[in-house]
Amino acid sequence: MLTLNSREIIAKRIGIELKDGDVVNLGVGIPTLVSKYIADKKVYLQTENGLLGMGPSPLMDDIDIDLIDAGKHPVTITPEASFFDSAFSFAMIRGKHIDVAVLGTLEVDRYGEIANWSVPNQPILGVGGAMDLVAGAKKVIVASTLFKKDGTPKLVESLTLDSSGERRVNQFVTEYANFIFQDDEIFINDIYGDLTFEELKRRIGLPLRQK
């Protein structure tokens, strides 16, 4: 039996959230794995470098170096795919034509504001499309492991890193649980990892509620 790693668990859980007809932008990192778990849903994947109708990752023999996502990873296309320039792509985002944006993150505060583009003392490539997606997508789901390498949670009282925008995200999907931000509270919608609700509450150190 295949055992999924933490990244795959997160991607698979997000695949459950997507609905037929959704136009979805997948950010760099864990979000790109979501395309593997859409199953038979009619979901339209958009990438800000200019593609609507992105398919799953290709087999090695089927790689086309001209077909890549925003993270420069090779992709396939669906039969109805369309190509356009970056300006048109961002017009889609800023015009609120993206139903769901799936983004990685470094931190999430207790109200759902995220920081996902700048690390102190590390080279900064720029905020990329994160700022526009946070503001423009109808729904924003964050995909990330729950804890940093030092064991501290990424879900924090206040951001210590640069914010990606004032707009609050809707969900934070981790390898342990699905967190929902609603009415200035954090709800756990379901737990599927090996930590109980009480253990999650203790390790995160923030008020949590169960739905």
- For the stretch 145-194, pLDDT in tens is 999 999 999 999 999 999 999 999 999 999 999 999 999 999 998 999 99
> Distance of alpha carbon 113 from its chain centroid, rounded?
13
Residue 31 in any domain: the answer is yes
Judge contact between 103 and 71, C-beta under 8 A.
Answer: no
Please report, for the domain that includes residue 34, its CATH number.
3.40.1080.10
Which domain does 27 fall in, by range? 6-206
Question: Which residue in the list 17, 48, 113, 175 is annotated as catalytic?
Answer: 48
Judge contact between 177 and 192, C-beta under 8 A.
Answer: yes
Angle at 80 between CA 143 and CA 11, to 5 degrees: 15
Per the annotation, the verdict on 48 as an active-site residue is yes
Euclidean distance between CA atoms 116 and 107, whole angstroms: 7
Q: What H or E segment, with its residue span, contains residue 17? A: helix 6-17
Residue 49 in any domain: the answer is yes
Q: Does the global pTM surpass 0.85?
A: yes
The mean of the pLDDT values for the chain is 92
Residue 171 in any domain: the answer is yes
Total domains in the fold of the chain:
1
The Cα-based distances of 73 to 56, 121, 145 in angstroms read 11, 26, 21
